[in-house]
Structure 1
Amino acid sequence: MWRRLPDREALSEAWRAAVRGLRQGLPLVFAVLGLVVVLTAVGVGYHFVASSPRFAVSRVEVLGNQRVPASALQSRVGLSAAVLGDAPGRNIFALDLGQMAETLEAEPWIEAATVRRRLPDAVVIEVEENQPVALVELDGLYLVDERGRVFARGQVERGDGAELPVITGIARDDYNAEPARTEARIRRAIEAVELYRERDGGDGAEARPRLGEIHIDNHSGITFFTFDTAMAVRIGHGSADVLRARLRAFDVAWRSLPREERAQVDVVYADLHERPDRVTMRFADAAGMSR
Protein backbone atom coordinates (compact mmCIF):
# COMPACT_ATOMS: atom_id res chain seq x y z
CA MET A 1 0.00 0.00 0.00
CA TRP A 2 1.44 3.29 -1.02
CA ARG A 3 1.71 6.15 1.59
CA ARG A 4 2.10 9.70 0.47
CA LEU A 5 5.30 11.33 1.78
CA PRO A 6 5.28 14.87 3.20
CA ASP A 7 6.13 17.46 0.68
CA ARG A 8 9.33 19.46 0.87
CA GLU A 9 7.72 22.59 2.26
CA ALA A 10 6.15 20.70 5.14
CA LEU A 11 9.50 19.18 6.01
CA SER A 12 11.16 22.61 5.95
CA GLU A 13 8.52 24.03 8.27
CA ALA A 14 8.98 21.17 10.69
CA TRP A 15 12.74 21.71 10.68
CA ARG A 16 12.35 25.42 11.31
CA ALA A 17 10.00 24.71 14.24
CA ALA A 18 12.53 22.31 15.74
CA VAL A 19 15.30 24.90 15.42
CA ARG A 20 13.11 27.59 17.03
CA GLY A 21 12.34 25.25 19.93
CA LEU A 22 16.01 24.52 20.42
CA ARG A 23 16.89 28.20 20.39
CA GLN A 24 14.18 29.00 22.91
CA GLY A 25 15.29 26.22 25.24
CA LEU A 26 19.01 27.01 25.20
CA PRO A 27 18.81 29.95 27.67
CA LEU A 28 17.05 27.72 30.18
CA VAL A 29 19.66 25.02 29.70
CA PHE A 30 22.48 27.52 30.18
CA ALA A 31 20.71 29.00 33.21
CA VAL A 32 20.41 25.59 34.83
CA LEU A 33 24.03 24.82 34.05
CA GLY A 34 25.08 28.20 35.47
CA LEU A 35 23.10 27.59 38.66
CA VAL A 36 24.73 24.20 39.05
CA VAL A 37 28.16 25.81 38.63
CA VAL A 38 27.37 28.55 41.19
CA LEU A 39 26.00 26.10 43.74
CA THR A 40 29.01 23.88 43.27
CA ALA A 41 31.35 26.84 43.76
CA VAL A 42 29.45 27.94 46.88
CA GLY A 43 29.62 24.44 48.29
CA VAL A 44 33.34 24.21 47.60
CA GLY A 45 33.90 27.67 49.09
CA TYR A 46 31.87 26.88 52.21
CA HIS A 47 33.75 23.65 52.72
CA PHE A 48 37.00 25.58 52.43
CA VAL A 49 36.15 28.31 54.96
CA ALA A 50 34.49 25.80 57.30
CA SER A 51 37.47 23.47 57.38
CA SER A 52 40.46 25.68 56.68
CA PRO A 53 42.73 26.16 59.71
CA ARG A 54 43.17 29.74 58.53
CA PHE A 55 39.69 30.53 59.92
CA ALA A 56 40.07 28.66 63.22
CA VAL A 57 39.70 31.03 66.19
CA SER A 58 43.09 31.53 67.80
CA ARG A 59 42.70 34.94 69.47
CA VAL A 60 40.03 36.57 71.65
CA GLU A 61 40.09 40.24 72.63
CA VAL A 62 37.94 41.35 75.56
CA LEU A 63 37.10 45.04 75.95
CA GLY A 64 35.24 47.05 78.58
CA ASN A 65 35.58 44.63 81.49
CA GLN A 66 36.83 45.81 84.87
CA ARG A 67 35.08 43.62 87.42
CA VAL A 68 34.74 40.36 85.47
CA PRO A 69 38.02 38.73 84.34
CA ALA A 70 38.47 38.26 80.60
CA SER A 71 39.15 34.57 81.15
CA ALA A 72 35.74 34.15 82.82
CA LEU A 73 33.96 35.81 79.89
CA GLN A 74 35.83 33.67 77.37
CA SER A 75 34.96 30.49 79.23
CA ARG A 76 31.31 31.54 79.42
CA VAL A 77 31.05 31.48 75.62
CA GLY A 78 33.25 28.45 75.06
CA LEU A 79 36.38 30.31 73.98
CA SER A 80 38.68 29.65 76.92
CA ALA A 81 42.43 29.48 76.42
CA ALA A 82 42.27 25.70 76.68
CA VAL A 83 39.68 25.50 73.90
CA LEU A 84 41.67 27.82 71.66
CA GLY A 85 44.70 25.59 72.12
CA ASP A 86 42.88 22.53 70.79
CA ALA A 87 43.42 21.55 67.16
CA PRO A 88 41.89 22.24 64.73
CA GLY A 89 40.04 24.88 66.75
CA ARG A 90 36.55 26.38 66.43
CA ASN A 91 35.76 27.80 63.03
CA ILE A 92 35.07 31.52 63.19
CA PHE A 93 32.10 31.29 60.81
CA ALA A 94 30.45 28.56 62.88
CA LEU A 95 30.05 30.86 65.90
CA ASP A 96 26.57 32.15 66.75
CA LEU A 97 27.56 35.67 67.76
CA GLY A 98 24.06 36.69 68.83
CA GLN A 99 23.69 33.72 71.13
CA MET A 100 27.13 34.38 72.60
CA ALA A 101 26.15 37.98 73.40
CA GLU A 102 22.94 36.80 75.09
CA THR A 103 24.94 34.31 77.15
CA LEU A 104 27.25 37.07 78.35
CA GLU A 105 24.35 39.37 79.21
CA ALA A 106 22.97 36.65 81.48
CA GLU A 107 25.96 37.25 83.75
CA PRO A 108 24.98 39.42 86.77
CA TRP A 109 27.71 42.01 86.23
CA ILE A 110 27.17 42.40 82.47
CA GLU A 111 24.68 45.05 81.36
CA ALA A 112 25.27 44.71 77.60
CA ALA A 113 27.57 42.71 75.32
CA THR A 114 28.51 42.54 71.66
CA VAL A 115 30.56 39.87 69.91
CA ARG A 116 32.08 40.31 66.46
CA ARG A 117 34.53 38.59 64.15
CA ARG A 118 37.88 40.00 63.15
CA LEU A 119 39.01 37.92 60.21
CA PRO A 120 40.72 35.67 59.74
CA ASP A 121 41.04 34.20 63.26
CA ALA A 122 40.05 36.66 66.01
CA VAL A 123 36.88 37.27 68.03
CA VAL A 124 36.25 40.57 69.81
CA ILE A 125 34.06 40.59 72.93
CA GLU A 126 32.97 44.01 74.18
CA VAL A 127 30.98 44.36 77.38
CA GLU A 128 29.41 47.12 79.42
CA GLU A 129 29.42 46.27 83.10
CA ASN A 130 26.77 47.22 85.62
CA GLN A 131 27.87 50.13 87.81
CA PRO A 132 26.81 49.73 91.45
CA VAL A 133 25.74 52.93 93.21
CA ALA A 134 24.64 51.44 96.53
CA LEU A 135 24.15 48.29 98.54
CA VAL A 136 20.71 47.23 99.73
CA GLU A 137 20.04 45.07 102.77
CA LEU A 138 17.71 42.19 101.79
CA ASP A 139 18.67 39.52 104.32
CA GLY A 140 22.15 40.03 102.92
CA LEU A 141 23.88 42.82 101.04
CA TYR A 142 23.11 43.18 97.34
CA LEU A 143 24.49 45.58 94.75
CA VAL A 144 22.06 47.89 92.97
CA ASP A 145 22.48 50.10 89.90
CA GLU A 146 21.17 53.63 89.36
CA ARG A 147 17.80 52.27 88.23
CA GLY A 148 17.30 50.58 91.57
CA ARG A 149 17.79 47.14 90.05
CA VAL A 150 19.43 44.47 92.18
CA PHE A 151 21.97 42.69 90.00
CA ALA A 152 24.40 40.78 92.22
CA ARG A 153 25.03 39.74 95.78
CA GLY A 154 27.77 41.82 97.36
CA GLN A 155 30.87 39.81 98.16
CA VAL A 156 32.12 41.71 101.18
CA GLU A 157 35.25 39.60 101.43
CA ARG A 158 36.23 40.83 97.96
CA GLY A 159 35.53 44.44 98.84
CA ASP A 160 32.31 44.77 96.84
CA GLY A 161 30.68 48.09 97.67
CA ALA A 162 33.18 49.02 100.36
CA GLU A 163 32.74 52.72 99.54
CA LEU A 164 29.01 52.57 98.81
CA PRO A 165 26.16 53.59 101.13
CA VAL A 166 23.86 50.86 102.40
CA ILE A 167 20.11 51.18 101.87
CA THR A 168 18.02 49.71 104.69
CA GLY A 169 14.34 49.55 105.57
CA ILE A 170 13.27 47.30 102.67
CA ALA A 171 12.04 43.80 103.43
CA ARG A 172 13.10 40.92 101.23
CA ASP A 173 9.53 39.62 101.18
CA ASP A 174 8.36 42.96 99.76
CA TYR A 175 11.02 42.77 97.07
CA ASN A 176 10.01 39.24 96.11
CA ALA A 177 6.30 40.08 96.08
CA GLU A 178 6.47 43.47 94.34
CA PRO A 179 9.87 43.91 92.68
CA ALA A 180 8.85 46.89 90.52
CA ARG A 181 7.41 48.81 93.45
CA THR A 182 10.40 47.96 95.62
CA GLU A 183 12.83 49.09 92.92
CA ALA A 184 10.99 52.42 92.87
CA ARG A 185 11.64 52.77 96.61
CA ILE A 186 15.30 51.93 96.08
CA ARG A 187 15.50 54.60 93.35
CA ARG A 188 13.96 57.05 95.80
CA ALA A 189 16.72 56.28 98.27
CA ILE A 190 19.39 56.63 95.58
CA GLU A 191 18.00 60.03 94.57
CA ALA A 192 18.20 61.12 98.20
CA VAL A 193 21.84 60.01 98.33
CA GLU A 194 22.55 62.17 95.28
CA LEU A 195 20.94 65.15 97.04
CA TYR A 196 23.09 64.55 100.11
CA ARG A 197 26.24 64.40 98.00
CA GLU A 198 25.52 67.65 96.17
CA ARG A 199 27.51 69.37 98.89
CA ASP A 200 30.79 67.49 98.63
CA GLY A 201 33.18 70.36 99.35
CA GLY A 202 34.09 70.81 95.70
CA ASP A 203 32.80 74.40 95.66
CA GLY A 204 34.88 75.39 98.68
CA ALA A 205 32.00 74.95 101.11
CA GLU A 206 32.32 72.52 103.96
CA ALA A 207 31.37 69.01 102.89
CA ARG A 208 28.69 67.09 104.70
CA PRO A 209 29.81 64.17 106.88
CA ARG A 210 30.54 61.02 104.94
CA LEU A 211 27.41 58.98 104.33
CA GLY A 212 27.27 55.37 105.48
CA GLU A 213 23.62 54.32 105.43
CA ILE A 214 20.26 55.57 104.21
CA HIS A 215 17.12 54.23 105.82
CA ILE A 216 13.77 54.52 104.08
CA ASP A 217 10.37 53.67 105.52
CA ASN A 218 6.77 54.72 105.04
CA HIS A 219 6.50 56.39 108.45
CA SER A 220 9.70 58.41 108.85
CA GLY A 221 10.69 58.79 105.22
CA ILE A 222 14.40 59.30 104.62
CA THR A 223 17.01 59.09 107.37
CA PHE A 224 20.75 59.33 106.69
CA PHE A 225 23.37 57.78 108.95
CA THR A 226 26.91 59.09 108.80
CA PHE A 227 29.78 56.67 108.27
CA ASP A 228 32.08 57.68 111.12
CA THR A 229 29.71 58.30 114.05
CA ALA A 230 26.39 56.80 112.84
CA MET A 231 24.74 60.16 113.45
CA ALA A 232 21.15 60.09 112.17
CA VAL A 233 19.98 62.95 109.92
CA ARG A 234 16.22 62.76 109.44
CA ILE A 235 14.84 64.63 106.42
CA GLY A 236 11.52 62.81 106.10
CA HIS A 237 9.22 62.88 103.08
CA GLY A 238 8.95 65.42 100.29
CA SER A 239 9.99 66.43 96.80
CA ALA A 240 13.61 66.90 95.80
CA ASP A 241 13.32 70.65 96.43
CA VAL A 242 11.86 70.08 99.90
CA LEU A 243 14.56 67.60 100.86
CA ARG A 244 17.27 69.85 99.46
CA ALA A 245 15.99 72.76 101.57
CA ARG A 246 16.06 70.60 104.69
CA LEU A 247 19.62 69.55 103.98
CA ARG A 248 20.61 73.19 103.62
CA ALA A 249 19.07 73.91 107.00
CA PHE A 250 21.14 71.04 108.37
CA ASP A 251 24.26 72.60 106.81
CA VAL A 252 23.65 75.89 108.63
CA ALA A 253 23.17 74.16 111.97
CA TRP A 254 26.14 71.86 111.43
CA ARG A 255 28.50 74.71 110.63
CA SER A 256 27.51 76.46 113.85
CA LEU A 257 28.76 73.58 116.00
CA PRO A 258 32.31 73.41 117.35
CA ARG A 259 34.15 70.28 116.33
CA GLU A 260 34.05 68.77 119.82
CA GLU A 261 30.26 69.14 119.95
CA ARG A 262 29.77 67.55 116.55
CA ALA A 263 31.13 64.27 117.84
CA GLN A 264 28.36 64.23 120.46
CA VAL A 265 25.44 64.68 118.08
CA ASP A 266 23.21 61.61 118.05
CA VAL A 267 20.22 62.63 115.92
CA VAL A 268 19.49 65.61 113.68
CA TYR A 269 15.80 66.34 113.09
CA ALA A 270 15.54 68.29 109.83
CA ASP A 271 12.01 67.10 109.08
CA LEU A 272 10.05 69.58 111.20
CA HIS A 273 7.05 70.31 108.99
CA GLU A 274 5.86 73.23 111.12
CA ARG A 275 9.30 74.92 111.01
CA PRO A 276 11.14 73.80 107.86
CA ASP A 277 13.85 76.40 108.51
CA ARG A 278 14.74 74.93 111.91
CA VAL A 279 16.80 71.90 112.85
CA THR A 280 16.76 70.14 116.21
CA MET A 281 19.75 68.14 117.41
CA ARG A 282 19.85 65.50 120.10
CA PHE A 283 23.17 65.00 121.80
CA ALA A 284 24.35 61.72 123.21
CA ASP A 285 24.89 63.26 126.67
CA ALA A 286 21.95 65.64 126.78
CA ALA A 287 18.20 65.67 126.29
CA GLY A 288 18.44 67.85 123.21
CA MET A 289 19.40 71.21 121.77
CA SER A 290 17.87 73.47 119.14
CA ARG A 291 19.93 75.40 116.62
Structure 2
Amino acid sequence: MRRPTHPRRYPRHPLDEDLRVSRRRLGRPRRNRRRRRIPLLVWLLAILTVEVVAVGLKDPRFNLARIEVQGVEVLTEEQVVRRSGLRPGKNLFQIRLKEARQRLLEVPAVADVTLHRRLPNRVLVRVHERQAMACVAAKNALFTIDATGIAFRKDAKPPRGLPLVTGLETKPLQLGGRIDAERARELREFVEAAAEYPQRGVPRISIDQNGNLCFNSAELGYQVRLGPAVQLKEKLALLAALERSLPDIRDRCQYIDLSCLEAPAWKPKKVALATNDHAGESRPVAPSGETLHGRGGFAQD
Protein backbone atom coordinates (compact mmCIF):
# COMPACT_ATOMS: atom_id res chain seq x y z
CA MET A 1 0.00 0.00 0.00
CA ARG A 2 1.30 3.48 -1.01
CA ARG A 3 2.09 5.89 1.80
CA PRO A 4 0.76 9.46 1.61
CA THR A 5 3.41 12.06 0.64
CA HIS A 6 2.00 14.95 2.69
CA PRO A 7 3.22 15.28 6.28
CA ARG A 8 1.03 14.01 9.01
CA ARG A 9 -0.74 16.73 11.01
CA TYR A 10 -1.21 16.33 14.73
CA PRO A 11 -3.90 18.12 16.71
CA ARG A 12 -2.79 21.38 18.37
CA HIS A 13 -2.47 21.47 22.09
CA PRO A 14 -4.68 24.07 23.85
CA LEU A 15 -1.66 25.53 25.63
CA ASP A 16 -0.01 26.45 22.33
CA GLU A 17 -3.01 28.51 21.29
CA ASP A 18 -3.03 30.32 24.62
CA LEU A 19 0.66 31.21 24.20
CA ARG A 20 0.06 32.75 20.78
CA VAL A 21 -2.81 34.85 22.05
CA SER A 22 -0.79 36.07 25.00
CA ARG A 23 2.11 37.09 22.74
CA ARG A 24 -0.21 39.12 20.53
CA ARG A 25 -1.69 40.89 23.52
CA LEU A 26 1.75 41.68 24.94
CA GLY A 27 2.92 43.19 21.60
CA ARG A 28 -0.02 45.52 21.02
CA PRO A 29 0.69 48.07 23.73
CA ARG A 30 4.21 48.67 22.35
CA ARG A 31 2.90 49.51 18.89
CA ASN A 32 0.23 51.74 20.31
CA ARG A 33 2.84 53.62 22.34
CA ARG A 34 4.89 54.29 19.20
CA ARG A 35 1.85 55.53 17.34
CA ARG A 36 1.03 57.88 20.15
CA ARG A 37 4.55 59.32 20.26
CA ILE A 38 4.59 60.37 16.57
CA PRO A 39 1.59 62.75 16.71
CA LEU A 40 2.93 64.20 19.91
CA LEU A 41 6.24 65.13 18.25
CA VAL A 42 4.37 66.64 15.30
CA TRP A 43 2.31 68.79 17.62
CA LEU A 44 5.38 69.94 19.51
CA LEU A 45 7.16 70.92 16.29
CA ALA A 46 4.07 72.77 15.05
CA ILE A 47 3.76 74.72 18.28
CA LEU A 48 7.45 75.58 18.23
CA THR A 49 7.21 76.79 14.62
CA VAL A 50 4.24 79.02 15.41
CA GLU A 51 6.10 80.53 18.36
CA VAL A 52 9.19 81.23 16.27
CA VAL A 53 7.14 82.86 13.49
CA ALA A 54 5.21 84.97 16.00
CA VAL A 55 8.45 86.18 17.56
CA GLY A 56 9.97 86.87 14.13
CA LEU A 57 6.98 88.93 12.99
CA LYS A 58 7.04 91.11 16.09
CA ASP A 59 10.75 91.39 16.78
CA PRO A 60 12.12 94.73 15.45
CA ARG A 61 15.48 93.10 14.82
CA PHE A 62 13.93 91.48 11.72
CA ASN A 63 12.77 94.76 10.19
CA LEU A 64 14.33 95.51 6.80
CA ALA A 65 17.27 97.84 7.29
CA ARG A 66 19.39 97.46 4.13
CA ILE A 67 18.82 96.58 0.45
CA GLU A 68 21.93 95.44 -1.42
CA VAL A 69 21.93 95.69 -5.24
CA GLN A 70 24.43 93.85 -7.43
CA GLY A 71 25.04 93.68 -11.19
CA VAL A 72 23.84 97.12 -12.34
CA GLU A 73 25.55 99.20 -15.02
CA VAL A 74 22.78 100.74 -17.09
CA LEU A 75 20.52 101.25 -14.06
CA THR A 76 21.46 102.80 -10.74
CA GLU A 77 20.95 101.22 -7.34
CA GLU A 78 18.40 103.91 -6.48
CA GLN A 79 16.36 103.06 -9.57
CA VAL A 80 16.35 99.37 -8.70
CA VAL A 81 15.26 99.99 -5.11
CA ARG A 82 12.52 102.40 -6.19
CA ARG A 83 11.11 100.07 -8.87
CA SER A 84 11.22 97.04 -6.57
CA GLY A 85 8.85 98.64 -4.07
CA LEU A 86 10.91 97.50 -1.07
CA ARG A 87 10.77 99.86 1.89
CA PRO A 88 13.08 99.83 4.94
CA GLY A 89 11.32 99.23 8.24
CA LYS A 90 8.98 96.51 7.02
CA ASN A 91 9.27 93.07 8.60
CA LEU A 92 11.57 90.83 6.58
CA PHE A 93 9.15 87.89 6.67
CA GLN A 94 6.22 89.99 5.47
CA ILE A 95 7.98 91.19 2.31
CA ARG A 96 6.62 89.59 -0.90
CA LEU A 97 9.72 89.00 -2.95
CA LYS A 98 7.81 87.52 -5.92
CA GLU A 99 5.88 90.74 -6.40
CA ALA A 100 9.08 92.79 -6.13
CA ARG A 101 10.73 90.58 -8.73
CA GLN A 102 7.77 90.95 -11.09
CA ARG A 103 7.97 94.74 -10.83
CA LEU A 104 11.68 94.71 -11.66
CA LEU A 105 11.18 92.45 -14.68
CA GLU A 106 8.96 95.15 -16.18
CA VAL A 107 12.02 97.41 -16.49
CA PRO A 108 13.28 97.17 -20.14
CA ALA A 109 16.95 97.04 -19.11
CA VAL A 110 16.43 94.03 -16.80
CA ALA A 111 16.77 90.59 -18.38
CA ASP A 112 16.44 88.67 -15.10
CA VAL A 113 16.58 89.35 -11.36
CA THR A 114 16.70 87.32 -8.16
CA LEU A 115 15.92 88.47 -4.60
CA HIS A 116 17.08 86.76 -1.40
CA ARG A 117 16.41 87.38 2.30
CA ARG A 118 19.52 87.69 4.41
CA LEU A 119 18.89 87.44 8.14
CA PRO A 120 18.42 89.35 10.25
CA ASN A 121 17.52 92.51 8.27
CA ARG A 122 18.84 92.52 4.67
CA VAL A 123 17.54 91.80 1.15
CA LEU A 124 19.99 91.00 -1.64
CA VAL A 125 18.93 91.94 -5.21
CA ARG A 126 20.97 90.43 -8.06
CA VAL A 127 20.18 92.11 -11.39
CA HIS A 128 21.10 90.65 -14.78
CA GLU A 129 20.93 93.51 -17.26
CA ARG A 130 20.53 93.20 -21.01
CA GLN A 131 23.81 93.28 -22.91
CA ALA A 132 24.08 95.94 -25.61
CA MET A 133 24.56 94.61 -29.15
CA ALA A 134 24.00 97.67 -31.37
CA CYS A 135 22.44 101.11 -31.58
CA VAL A 136 19.45 101.26 -33.93
CA ALA A 137 18.27 104.41 -35.66
CA ALA A 138 14.47 104.14 -35.54
CA LYS A 139 11.94 106.60 -36.91
CA ASN A 140 11.58 108.48 -33.63
CA ALA A 141 14.97 108.12 -31.86
CA LEU A 142 18.13 106.11 -31.31
CA PHE A 143 17.82 102.97 -29.18
CA THR A 144 20.29 100.45 -27.81
CA ILE A 145 19.15 96.88 -28.42
CA ASP A 146 20.29 93.53 -27.07
CA ALA A 147 20.88 90.29 -28.98
CA THR A 148 17.15 89.53 -29.08
CA GLY A 149 16.31 92.91 -30.61
CA ILE A 150 14.71 94.45 -27.49
CA ALA A 151 15.23 98.20 -27.09
CA PHE A 152 16.24 98.86 -23.47
CA ARG A 153 17.88 102.29 -23.60
CA LYS A 154 17.14 105.53 -25.43
CA ASP A 155 20.21 107.38 -26.69
CA ALA A 156 20.74 111.01 -27.61
CA LYS A 157 23.68 110.03 -29.81
CA PRO A 158 25.28 106.71 -30.85
CA PRO A 159 27.17 105.25 -27.86
CA ARG A 160 30.88 104.72 -28.30
CA GLY A 161 31.90 101.16 -29.02
CA LEU A 162 28.53 100.08 -30.46
CA PRO A 163 27.78 99.65 -34.17
CA LEU A 164 25.15 102.04 -35.54
CA VAL A 165 22.39 100.34 -37.55
CA THR A 166 20.50 102.30 -40.20
CA GLY A 167 17.77 101.28 -42.61
CA LEU A 168 15.10 100.67 -39.97
CA GLU A 169 13.85 104.27 -39.82
CA THR A 170 10.48 103.43 -41.37
CA LYS A 171 8.98 102.31 -38.02
CA PRO A 172 9.01 103.95 -34.57
CA LEU A 173 10.37 102.06 -31.58
CA GLN A 174 9.65 102.27 -27.87
CA LEU A 175 11.54 101.18 -24.76
CA GLY A 176 10.81 97.52 -24.20
CA GLY A 177 9.79 97.09 -27.83
CA ARG A 178 11.46 94.72 -30.24
CA ILE A 179 12.63 95.12 -33.81
CA ASP A 180 11.71 92.52 -36.41
CA ALA A 181 12.91 89.09 -35.28
CA GLU A 182 14.51 88.31 -38.65
CA ARG A 183 16.39 91.62 -38.71
CA ALA A 184 17.57 90.98 -35.14
CA ARG A 185 18.87 87.54 -36.12
CA GLU A 186 20.76 88.95 -39.12
CA LEU A 187 22.34 91.70 -37.02
CA ARG A 188 23.31 89.22 -34.31
CA GLU A 189 25.01 86.90 -36.80
CA PHE A 190 26.89 89.80 -38.39
CA VAL A 191 28.10 91.18 -35.03
CA GLU A 192 29.28 87.71 -33.98
CA ALA A 193 31.14 87.22 -37.28
CA ALA A 194 32.66 90.74 -37.26
CA ALA A 195 33.98 90.25 -33.71
CA GLU A 196 36.76 88.10 -35.18
CA TYR A 197 38.14 91.16 -37.02
CA PRO A 198 38.41 93.92 -34.37
CA GLN A 199 41.04 95.78 -36.38
CA ARG A 200 38.31 97.09 -38.70
CA GLY A 201 36.88 99.17 -35.90
CA VAL A 202 33.23 99.71 -34.97
CA PRO A 203 31.17 99.39 -38.14
CA ARG A 204 28.22 101.39 -39.35
CA ILE A 205 25.71 98.82 -40.59
CA SER A 206 22.97 99.39 -43.11
CA ILE A 207 20.21 96.87 -43.68
CA ASP A 208 17.46 97.20 -46.28
CA GLN A 209 13.92 95.82 -46.28
CA ASN A 210 15.10 92.65 -48.03
CA GLY A 211 17.74 91.91 -45.38
CA ASN A 212 20.77 92.88 -47.47
CA LEU A 213 23.67 94.06 -45.34
CA CYS A 214 26.48 96.49 -45.99
CA PHE A 215 28.88 98.16 -43.58
CA ASN A 216 31.59 100.77 -43.34
CA SER A 217 33.87 102.21 -40.65
CA ALA A 218 36.37 105.01 -40.21
CA GLU A 219 39.22 102.49 -40.05
CA LEU A 220 38.03 100.62 -43.12
CA GLY A 221 37.68 103.59 -45.49
CA TYR A 222 35.37 101.90 -48.01
CA GLN A 223 31.99 100.22 -48.09
CA VAL A 224 31.50 96.44 -48.00
CA ARG A 225 28.33 95.02 -49.48
CA LEU A 226 27.54 91.62 -48.00
CA GLY A 227 24.13 91.00 -49.53
CA PRO A 228 21.87 88.50 -47.71
CA ALA A 229 22.93 87.51 -44.19
CA VAL A 230 24.19 84.07 -45.18
CA GLN A 231 27.77 82.73 -45.07
CA LEU A 232 28.84 85.87 -43.21
CA LYS A 233 31.95 84.28 -41.73
CA GLU A 234 33.06 83.11 -45.17
CA LYS A 235 32.42 86.54 -46.68
CA LEU A 236 34.41 88.33 -43.99
CA ALA A 237 37.22 85.80 -44.33
CA LEU A 238 37.32 86.53 -48.08
CA LEU A 239 37.45 90.25 -47.31
CA ALA A 240 40.42 89.68 -45.01
CA ALA A 241 42.20 87.73 -47.77
CA LEU A 242 41.57 90.56 -50.27
CA GLU A 243 42.94 93.11 -47.82
CA ARG A 244 46.11 91.07 -47.38
CA SER A 245 46.62 90.72 -51.14
CA LEU A 246 45.83 94.41 -51.79
CA PRO A 247 47.40 96.40 -48.94
CA ASP A 248 46.53 99.74 -50.58
CA ILE A 249 42.89 98.86 -51.21
CA ARG A 250 41.74 101.48 -48.71
CA ASP A 251 43.06 104.26 -50.92
CA ARG A 252 41.99 102.67 -54.19
CA CYS A 253 38.56 101.20 -53.55
CA GLN A 254 35.14 102.82 -53.27
CA TYR A 255 33.30 99.61 -52.32
CA ILE A 256 33.62 95.82 -52.44
CA ASP A 257 30.65 93.64 -53.26
CA LEU A 258 30.76 90.21 -51.60
CA SER A 259 27.13 89.31 -52.20
CA CYS A 260 28.30 86.34 -54.24
CA LEU A 261 31.27 84.49 -52.78
CA GLU A 262 32.14 82.94 -56.14
CA ALA A 263 32.25 86.28 -57.95
CA PRO A 264 33.39 89.16 -55.69
CA ALA A 265 33.49 92.58 -57.32
CA TRP A 266 34.88 95.98 -56.50
CA LYS A 267 34.63 99.57 -57.70
CA PRO A 268 37.68 101.84 -57.68
CA LYS A 269 37.53 105.43 -56.61
CA LYS A 270 37.10 108.12 -59.21
CA VAL A 271 40.13 108.19 -61.55
CA ALA A 272 42.02 111.46 -61.57
CA LEU A 273 42.53 113.34 -64.82
CA ALA A 274 46.03 114.55 -65.73
CA THR A 275 46.66 117.31 -68.27
CA ASN A 276 49.00 116.70 -71.24
CA ASP A 277 50.98 119.93 -71.38
CA HIS A 278 52.21 119.29 -74.92
CA ALA A 279 48.90 118.49 -76.53
CA GLY A 280 46.61 120.38 -74.16
CA GLU A 281 44.53 117.24 -73.62
CA SER A 282 43.32 115.37 -70.56
CA ARG A 283 43.84 111.67 -70.14
CA PRO A 284 42.92 109.16 -67.37
CA VAL A 285 45.73 108.18 -65.08
CA ALA A 286 45.69 104.66 -63.61
CA PRO A 287 47.46 104.04 -60.29
CA SER A 288 50.76 102.22 -60.48
CA GLY A 289 50.31 98.49 -60.98
CA GLU A 290 46.55 98.81 -61.63
CA THR A 291 44.56 99.04 -64.85
CA LEU A 292 41.32 100.89 -65.31
CA HIS A 293 39.58 97.53 -65.41
CA GLY A 294 40.56 96.60 -61.88
CA ARG A 295 43.23 94.27 -60.59
CA GLY A 296 43.74 91.47 -58.14
CA GLY A 297 41.78 88.82 -60.03
CA PHE A 298 38.22 89.88 -59.22
CA ALA A 299 35.75 91.84 -61.28
CA GLN A 300 35.34 95.59 -61.35
CA ASP A 301 31.91 97.19 -61.43
Pairing of 1:50-89 with structure 2 (within 5 A): 50-79=57-86, 84=88, 89=89
The aligned residue for residue 245 of structure 1 is 234
Q: How far apart are 1:264 and its partner, in Å?
A: 5.1
Q: How far apart are 1:277 and its partner, in Å?
A: 4.5
Match of 1:262 among 244, 250, 253: 250
Unaligned runs of 5+ in 2: 1-38, 273-291, 297-301
The aligned residue for residue 221 of structure 1 is 212
Q: Answer whether contact 1:165 1:211 (CA < 8 A) is retained.
A: yes
Correspondence 1:168 to 2:166: yes
Pairing of 1:146-225 with structure 2 (within 5 A): 146-156=147-157, 161-173=159-171, 182-200=180-198, 207=199, 209-219=200-210, 221-225=212-216
Distance 2:63 2:194 in 1: 54
The aligned residue for residue 122 of structure 1 is 122
TM-score by length of 1: 0.68
Q: Answer whether contact 2:221 2:250 (CA < 8 A) is retained.
A: no
Pairing of 1:33-52 with structure 2 (within 5 A): 46-52=53-59
Correspondence 1:283 to 2:269: yes
Distance 2:71 2:54 in 1: 35
Q: Answer whether contact 1:114 1:125 (CA < 8 A) is retained.
A: yes
Tell me which stretches of 4 or more aligned residues in structure 1 moved more than 6 Å: 37-44
Secondary structure at the counterpart of residue 234 of structure 1? strand
Which amino acid is 1:109 matched to?
Answer: A
> Percent of pairs identical after alignment?
24
Distance 1:174 1:76 in 2: 26
Distance 1:255 1:90 in 2: 66
Cα RMSD for the two superposed structures: 3.5
TM-score by length of 2: 0.66
Q: How far apart are 1:225 and its partner, in Å?
A: 1.4
Distance 2:48 2:234 in 1: 75
Aligned length: 237
Secondary structure at the counterpart of residue 180 of structure 2? helix
Q: Answer whether contact 1:60 1:124 (CA < 8 A) is retained.
A: yes
Distance 2:70 2:62 in 1: 22
Segment drifting more, 131-140 vs 45-54 = 45-54
Change (3 A) 1:112 1:219: closer
Q: How far apart are 1:66 and its partner, in Å?
A: 2.4
Which amino acid is 2:214 matched to?
Answer: T
Q: How far apart are 1:288 and its partner, in Å?
A: 7.5
Distance 1:187 1:193 in 2: 10
The aligned residue for residue 100 of structure 1 is 100
Which amino acid is 1:251 matched to?
Answer: A
> Rg: which structure is higher?
2
Q: Answer whether contact 2:220 2:250 (CA < 8 A) is retained.
A: no
The C-alpha deviation readout for 1:189-216, integer Å capped at 9, x for no partner, is: 221222223234xxxxxx4x22321111
Secondary structure at the counterpart of residue 193 of structure 1? helix
Q: How far apart are 1:270 and its partner, in Å?
A: 2.0
Unaligned runs of 5+ in 1: 1-30, 201-206
Which amino acid is 1:76 matched to?
Answer: R
Distance 1:125 1:132 in 2: 21
Correspondence 1:111 to 2:111: yes
